[in-house]
Amino acid sequence: MKPIEILTQALELLAALAAAPLFLGWVNQCRAWLQNRRAPSIWLPYRGIRKLFHKDAVIAANASPFFRLAPYVVFGAMVVAAGIIPSMGTRLPFTVAADAIALVGLLATARVFLSLAAVDIGTAFGTLGARREMMVGFLAEPALLMVIFVASIISATTALPAIAESLATHRLGLYPSLAFTAIAFTLILLAENARLPIDNPATHLELTMIHEAMVLEYSARHLALMEWAAALKLFNYACIGFALFLPWGISIGTGSPLSLLASIPLLGAKLTVTGAALAFIETISAKLRVFRAPEFLAIAFMLAVLGLLVHLLLGA
Amino acid sequence: MTLYIDSSLRACLTLIGLWALIGVAGLLRPMSVGFVGRMLFPLGALCGLALAVVAVTSLGAPPEQAVLKVGLPDLPMHVRRDALASFFLLLLGGSSAGISIFAAGYFRRGEGTAPGLLCLQYHLFLASMGFVLLADDAYAFMVAWETMAVSSYFLVTTQHALGEIRRAGFLYLLIAHVGAIAILLSFGVMQGGSWQFTFDAMRGAHLTPYWATAAFLLALFGFGAKAGLVPLHVWLPEAHPAAPSPVSALMSGAMLKVAVYGVLRATFDLLGKPEWWWGLVLLTIGLFSAVYGVAFAAVQTDMKRLLAWSSIENLGIIFAAVGLGIVFYGVGMDSLAALALIAALYHSLNHAFIKSLLFLGTGAVLHSTGERNLGRLGGLIHRMPWVAWLTLVGALAMAGLPPLNGFVSEWLLLQAFLFAHEVPRTFVNMILPIGAALVALSAALAAYVMVKFFGVIFLGQPRESALARARDAGVLERIGLTWLVLGCISLGLLPTYLIGALRIVVAQFSGAALPRTGAPWWLLAPLAHRQASYSAPIFLIALMSSVVLTVLLVRRLYHYRVRRAPAWDGGFGRLDARMQDTAEGFGQPIRHIFGALFAVKRDLPSAFDPSPRYRVFVSDRIWQWLYVPLGTLVQRTADTLTWVQQGRISAYLTYSFTTLIVLLALML
């Protein structure tokens, strides 16, 4: 391992940890602007997390050790995921150990732990949230895998850095197949991150909740970790999207520290635009009924398959 | 090793014979739980362990053959041990070691069959499975195969006092025999006119493509019936819950894999070169079974039935992998064929360990609570921590989560699917990659099923007050579970060793070789030039260290004070166990999304009902569409033919005479 590789890896991890709440704050701010509300501070997620860490944890009398373990596992999984996804540079030594399929598995691990923890207390909300989360998950996972498949087939590898490299060094211009999969991926991102139109991050109305229902019983540091993990998940998904569809500007191959440095503002710019776009999508769409979620994700899946067929037919 | 050089075949046969002997020894003191449980079952576990060791050391050895002078005169039994047989012996020995030691603490007096008799049936079942793997002629194979079916039938009907269990047993026996007939016919085709029924003769026989296809389809039908492929799966969700848990574990973990062995033996070894489109047939049936099985698993309310449906799913995935391997093999893409076949074998071994573990976990729960119904369980992690945490490993592995073993085989299979579009057959190559999505769908649904399984049984609040008396499993049971958990973990963390061995196995039985890539022991990179790699140990270290670091940092920077209070539940208060999701409730999204698959019947109470009950029954449409008409047809045919049975001796004499005349006319 060369110093530059370790530097890239460390930088990406730290950036993800530090910037994830900021990204969430930015999305919330954009949403407020678009909805003609006074925007909360962009630093609000940090303050929330800090406040929660200082509080005393209250857990249910019948909570098992699993309940206390889960936030750490969910958070840890999201941190590891951040280490797999190339957001600034492709020279990530850790990615040898985990490719895109392992990344999907890792996200599934976090989902399973979160859902099981939600079942642990035995409340109506918790179990309801868990089953809805698993429902969205089992529909989104194959669709996500198909999206990754298209990119993998184009670049003949499942290693994310190699995919990003091969797509970034290709002639400028999006593959037609990737255009379809990009739309599919956007739908998956919305569903997997508990955003509108599948879930509403701003509500606590039981008919509509998914993610919030699962973390209802958590408090203090456990809740802080869950919230931070959710922010990291959104950040990670955005970065997967960049690696697959907007890999330009990423530091490639034997890139110098300078190119790594240059990729930081570029990542910031991509995140800024994506956050605004996300807020825009959320503002113009209404919450779907829970049982419309399968149709929504089926569209994502079909688009991904369409992308695959387009690639196989046109070779592009 | 001297054993290895001398004869691993002889060692395997000795151990299988020992199993049979242990079984017979059970009859010495048939009513003594102490003798049978504390002596014989642990001995059987040791035999299993020894068998696994012998099998591992002989994986890379050249095939060995022998002729046993037993059985009918002029019809000796041929036996042969090659790499494929060794691998499945490893599977059988390894998983049965854990199951037998668990069974040592499990069987009790007063539960149906006497312990000694149970011991005989159990060990005969083990021995016959072992012998099926070693058989090298159709005669020996069928004898062992039928012994396997019959001994497991008796094991399934251990609690034969219950009508429901007798019915399940009958259905199992029926389908097992329909399958056996198909296998027999398949052997009949494979001998190709030589009328030699040794496997050597079948390997040498030259079949026309037409007859080879017929033999393949018959074998697929026969072995598919044993493996529980849809639509021949109906016995599985009946027989598995009926059997005692160690027996369910053995059937699901080992016996279903013997059927996988049969298909591999028939297509690659006996029939020689399979046609590429056979693979498509297998792939289609396999993927359909996978999705069908897992969708049904998600809506079950009986924990063992849920696991049985999940077995259908997993066997579907194994067969899909075999099918993909055959497609690659048939079009000459050897290294990818080897990869898919390695995925199939790997998943077989994984499933043997995981599903045995889960079945034994349900057995422990069943023994301590007397409940199989998910709707009456819950919160057992507090009362049975050993069983709960060990089962959790199995549930996570079954859900295909890294870094456990279920993920490895899924990863290998998806890697193989990734190159399916290079198959030089137009249209087929465009449809094949979608198979990967179905594999991913069933894996994701398996996670759903496992969240339901583990969450409803072990987490939440106890749904019945009697659950407060539940006791954790005994020492022997814990040892059995731990052994299987260790298997799951080591198969997950050190896949390169097994894949190195499987490379040899696959090369020996199919001739398709996966080139060595020179990756270090900790890195799984079957196709290095394609740049796909996965390293479970590093993955685990990364995950663990990030979890541990988070814990330490949070403790160091803040505090770890915790206060216990009643559950908040959104401030509603008065929370009770009835407010949690039931098993039906947890399956409801699946019932909704896959509505077309299920025949759902609801009992809705009227608005004025003083004690309203809401019930929902989900049943299998295939049963109504296929089996009920088939049963009616058989019944009707039998009814019309009853007039033949006149009950007068003169009528029967006439029949015999006519038959004689007809036969004479045919001969002359």
d(CA B315, CA B488): 18
- pLDDT, one tens digit per residue, over B373-425 is 888 888 889 889 999 999 999 999 999 998 899 999 999 999 888 888 888 88
Residue B4 above 50 pLDDT?
no
pLDDT above 70 (res B529): no
Phi, psi of A7 (to 5 degrees): -60, -45
Longest dimension (CA), chain A: 60
Residue of B nearest to A294 (CA): B593
| HSE (side-chain half, CA atoms, 13 Å) at A170 | 18
Query: Which residue is it, tokens 């910031």?
Result: A268
- pLDDT of B142 reads 93
A-chain residues near B543 (CB < 8 A) = 73, 76-77, 80, 106
Q: Are B326 and B337 in contact (CB under 8 A)?
A: yes
From the list B440, B460, B534, which residue is nearest A120 (CB)?
B460
Contact B586 A127 (CB under 8 A): yes
| CA distance readout (Å), B75 to A270, A284, B139 | 77, 79, 8
Verify whether the Cβ–Cβ distance A145 to B421 is below 8 Å. Answer: no
Residue B660, φ and ψ in degrees, nearest 5? -60, -45
Integer Cα distance of B585 and B568 in angstroms: 22
Residues of chain A positioned with their CB less than 8 A from the CB of B538: 94, 96-98
Task: Check if the interface score ipTM surpasses 0.95.
Answer: no
On whether the CB atoms of residues B499 and B526 are closer than 8 A, the answer is yes
Q: Is the pLDDT of residue B5 over 60?
A: no
pLDDT greater than 60 at residue B505: yes
Give the bridge partners for B80, in sequence order: B65
Q: How far is A213 from chain B (nearest CA, A)?
A: 9
DSSP 8-state secondary structure symbol assigned to residue B198:
B
Residue B620, strand partner residues = B598
Chain B CB contacts of A94 under 8 Å are 538, 542
> What are the two backbone dihedrals, phi and then psi, of residue B476, each rounded to the nearest 5 degrees?
-60, -40
For residue B424, the model assigns a pLDDT of 83
**What's chain B's Rg over C-alpha atoms?**
26
Percent share of chain A, pLDDT over 90: 35
Contact criterion met (CB below 8 Å) for B256 and B309: no
Q: Of B237, B230, B247, whose CA–CA distance to B290 is shortest?
A: B230
Q: How far apart are CA B272 and CA B278, in angstroms?
A: 13
Amino acid identity of residue A315, one-letter, is G
Instruction: Give strand ranges (E) for chain A.
Output: 57-60
The DSSP bridge partners found for residue B66 are B79
Which runs of E-coded beta strand occur in A176-278?
none
Q: Cis peptide before A21, with omega less than 30 degrees from 0?
A: no
B565: left (phi over 0), alpha (psi -120 to 50) or beta: beta
Out of A130, A149, A291, the one facing B418 most closely (by C-beta) is A149
Kindly state the average pLDDT of the residues A237-245: 91
Higher pLDDT, B71 or A25: A25
The mean predicted confidence, pLDDT, of chain B is 88
Q: Which whole number is the average pLDDT over B306-332?
A: 93
pLDDT for B1 beyond 60: no
Q: What mean pLDDT is predicted for residues A296-301?
A: 91
Angstroms from B372 CA to nearest CA on chain A: 19
What tokens were used for B206?
Answer: 């030259």
How far lies A235's CA from each of A23, A82, A228, B485, in Å? 7, 8, 10, 35
Q: How far apart, in Å, are the Cα atoms of A252 and each of A162, B201, B569? A: 9, 59, 50
Cα separation, B37 vs A278, whole angstroms: 63
| Prediction pTM value | 0.93
The distance of B230 to chain A (nearest Cα, Å) reads 22
**Residue B560, Cβ neighbours under 10 Å: how many?**
11
Q: Is there a contact between A157 and B530 if contact means CB atoms under 8 Å apart?
A: yes
pLDDT band at A158 (very low <50, low <70, confident <90, very high): confident
Average pLDDT over all residues of chain A: 86
Query: Angle at which helices B475-493 and B385-398 pack, to 10 degrees?
Result: 30
**What is the predicted pLDDT for the residue at A253?**
67
Q: Give residue B3's pLDDT band: very low, low, confident or very high (50, 70, 90).
A: very low
Q: Which domain holds residue A199?
A: 3-314
Q: Tell me which of A51-55, A204-208, B270-274, B536-540 is least confident.
A: A204-208
Check if B538 contacts A (Cβ < 8 Å): yes
What lies within 8 Å, CB to CB, of B431 at 6+ separation is none
For A232, other C-beta atoms within 10 Å of its C-beta total 25
Residue for token digits 């149709």? A295
How many H-runs (helices) and E-runs (strands) does chain B carry?
26, 5
Q: How far apart are the first and last CA of chain B?
A: 61
Contacts of B507 (CB under 8 A, 6+ apart): B338, B513, B514
For residue A41, the Cα-to-chain-centroid distance in whole angstroms is 22
The residue behind tokens 């022998």 is B66
Residue B451, H or E segment: helix B428-458
B567-610: pLDDT as tens digits: 887 777 777 878 888 888 888 888 888 888 888 888 888 888 88
pLDDT of residue B134: 92
If pLDDT is split at 50, 70 and 90, which confidence band does B643 have?
confident
CA distance B284 to B274: 16
pLDDT in tens, B134-162: 999 999 999 999 999 999 999 999 888 88
What pLDDT was estimated at residue B2?
37
The residues in B 541-560 lying below 8 A from A, measured between CB atoms, are 542-544, 546-547, 550-551, 554, 557-560
Beta carbons of B444 and A142 less than 8 Å apart: yes
Q: Burial level of B484, CB count in 10 A (0-12/13-18/19+)?
A: buried
Taking a C-beta distance cutoff of 8 angstroms, is the pair A204, A212 a contact?
Answer: yes
Beta strand pairing status for B562-565 and A57-60? parallel
According to the model, what pLDDT value does residue A219 have? 87
A interface mutation test: which of B562, B584, B586, B588 has the most A CBs within 10 A?
B562
Q: Is A315 exposed, middle or buried (0-12, 13-18, 19+ CB in 10 A)?
A: exposed
Confidence (pLDDT) at B549: 92
Domain tally for chain A? 1
Percent share of chain B, pLDDT over 90: 49
Q: How far apart are CA B338 and CA B129, in angstroms?
A: 26
Strand-pairing partners, residue B387, are: none
CA dist A278 → A28, A194, B90, B627 (Å): 10, 12, 53, 52
Q: Considering CB atoms only, which of B531, B561, B575 is closest to A157?
A: B531
Nearest CA among B239, B457, B456, B446 for reference residue B361: B457
Query: First and final CA of chain A: distance in angstroms?
Result: 35
CA separation for the pair B616, B634 (Å, rounded): 31
| Dist CA B438 CA B84 (whole Å) | 28
Q: What angle do CA A78, A80, A81 make, to 5 degrees?
A: 60
- pLDDT given for residue A247 in this prediction: 82
CA B668 – CA B648 distance, rounded (Å):
31
Lowest mean pLDDT among A287-301, B538-552, B654-668: A287-301
Do residues A108 and B398 lie in contact, with contact meaning Cβ atoms separated by under 8 Å?
A: no
- Which residue does chain B place closest to A59, by CA atoms? B564
Radius of gyration of chain A (CA): 19
Question: Å from B26 to nearest chain A CA?
Answer: 42
Contacts of A309 in chain B (CB under 8 A): 430
For residue B24, give every residue at least 6 positions away whose Cβ sits within 8 Å of its Cβ, in sequence order, or none.
Answer: B120
Q: Which two tokens stand for residue A191?
A: 């569903």
pLDDT tens across B349-372, in order? 999 999 999 999 999 998 888 888
A76 burial type by CB count under 10 A (0-12 exposed, 13-18 middle, 19+ buried): buried
Spatial contact of B524 and B413, defined as CB atoms under 8 Å apart? no
- Which residue type, as a one-letter code, is found at position B80? R
Q: Report residue B621 as tokens.
A: 């449409």
> Helices marked H in B558-648 — which ranges?
583-593, 621-622, 628-641
DSSP string, B317-347: HHHHHHHHHHHHHHTT-HHHHHHHHHHHHHH
Q: What SS3 state is found at B582?
A: coil
| pLDDT, tens only, A116-146 | 999 998 888 888 889 889 999 999 999 999 9
A116: chain B residues, CB-CB within 8 Å? 451, 454-455, 459
Arithmetic mean of pLDDT, A90-102? 83
Cα–Cα distances (Å) from A245 to A162, A185, A191, A301, B163, in that order, read 13, 10, 19, 17, 61
Determine the angle formed by the axes of helices B428-458 and A100-120, rounding to 10 degrees. Answer: 30
Longest C-alpha distance within chain B, in Å?
A: 99
Residue B565's DSSP bridge partners are: A60
Residues B41-83: pLDDT tens digits? Answer: 999 999 999 999 999 988 888 888 888 888 777 888 889 998 9
Q: How far apart are CA A300 and CA A278, in angstroms?
A: 17
Q: How far is B441 from chain A (nearest CA, A)?
A: 5
pLDDT for A208 equals 66
Per-residue pLDDT reduced to its tens digit, A26-80:
998 999 999 888 888 889 999 999 999 888 888 988 889 999 999 999 999 999 9
B109 has pLDDT over 80: no
Measured CA to CA, the distance from residue B230 to residue B169 in angstroms comes to: 19
